[in-house]
Amino acid sequence: MTTWIQTRSGKAFDLINPDPRLIDIEDIAHALAHICRFTGHTTLFYSVAEHSVHVTQMVEDEDLKLVALLHDAAEAYIGDVSAPLKRLDGMSGYRAVEAGIWRAICKRFGFAEELPHLVKEADAQMLANEGATLWSPGHVLKWGLKHQPHLVTLNHWAPYYARDRFLKEYNRLL
């Protein structure tokens, strides 16, 4: 059984045994720029790459900004699965693959495997902001989120622009 995908750069990336040396920021930026948040259920295209840039801007600790930018990087290899689906018992295999890819990303970029609390908080706050901005503030209550949403400007960047902004942010943080 084949367990690898071909990345945009042409690498054969094994999903089950991910090699940190094959983790490529260009592949990550390209893929995340083409993946729509909320499984595509938005009025306008809103990419995981744009989301990641916004989360990075919400994290004040400069030492955590790169991990904030890359917090969803595993999705570049396995796609964005909705949180309710991910939580189902039958998705343990998916979660294991995602965790393995995250470990490879952490090794490649020198992060601890545990996502820092401040990054988790910024991601949760951004989710509340997205819900309120893309739909209505009532969605945040319906979703059971604890964060108060702030209406933020979501730019709905085109994929090529989202990729470039993601890479610009990455290069700024190095």
Residue 138 in tokens: 């009532």
Fold annotation for 4-173 = Hypothetical protein af1432 (1.10.3210)
Angle between helices 48-58 and 25-34 (to 10 degrees): 110
Q: What is the pLDDT of residue 102?
A: 98
Report phi then psi at 42, rounded to 5.
-130, 155
**Bridge partner residues of 47 (DSSP):** 36
The structure tokens 């945040």 sit at 140
The average pLDDT across 113-125 equals 96
* Total-model pTM: 0.94
Q: Domain ranges in the chain?
A: 4-173
| Nearest-angstrom CA–CA distance, 35 and 76 | 8
Report phi then psi at 157, rounded to 5.
-60, 140
Q: Summarize pLDDT for 60-118 with one digit per residue, the tens.
A: 999 999 999 999 999 999 999 988 898 888 889 999 999 999 999 999 999 999 999 99
Q: Summarize pLDDT for 3-60 with one digit per residue, the tens.
A: 999 999 999 999 999 999 999 999 999 999 999 999 999 889 999 999 999 999 999 9
The structure tokens 């592949």 sit at 27
Length of the chain as a residue count: 174
Q: Summarize pLDDT for 131-169 with one digit per residue, the tens.
A: 888 887 776 667 777 777 776 789 999 999 999 999 999
Contact yes or no for 58/126 (Cβ under 8 A)? yes
Contact yes or no for 71/52 (Cβ under 8 A)? yes
Give the max Cα distance, the chain.
46
Contact yes or no for 106/113 (Cβ under 8 A)? yes
